Homo-oligomer: A and B are copies of this chain.
């Protein structure tokens, strides 16, 4: 069962959950992959409700999003699952099947091809309507130093030059899986 919601009625829950992590899920072919994100924004552009996700260029999720520009955002409701968020935030879907490893319960999307993750029931279905690599030359020095340190090997998550792409997802459906 999915209970449809007005997304901005849950804006506080969504943004507060971000501080501990929410799931961003993508799907290409038959493969579903979830990544924990802690950064994102919610609001309106071009008159449409949007969730902007920031994904590093080097991430597997970035590759998947570029192949199939849809995603779901899944947010815990009333408590959060440390194990799921920890696992999806530390492992790359390149090497393992996180859905299988964690035994996540997927619910087919209503509008997008990407499923919702029932364990984090508040779901935003998003279609990417715009994306843009952030301009490293416009990022303040202190942020650059902290978030994009140089001289780190390219297999590291904070690798040299691994800047963020802003993915603007139009929220085409929002609900809680019950």
Question: Could you tell me which A residues sit within 8 Å of B by CB distance?
Answer: 8-12, 14-16, 18-19, 38-47, 50, 52, 54, 129-132, 134-135, 138-140, 143, 146-147, 164
Contact = CB atoms under 8 A, between A and B. Distances in A.
Contact of A41 (B19, B44, B134): B44
A41 B39 contact: no
11 contacts: A10-B12, A11-B14, A11-B15, A15-B42, A39-B43, A42-B43, A43-B52, A45-B54, A46-B146, A132-B134, A132-B138
A132 B130 CA distance: 14
Q: Which interface residue of A9, A131, A134 has the most chain B CB atoms within 10 A?
A: A134
Contact of A43 (B40, B47, B132): B40
A50 B15 CA distance: 11
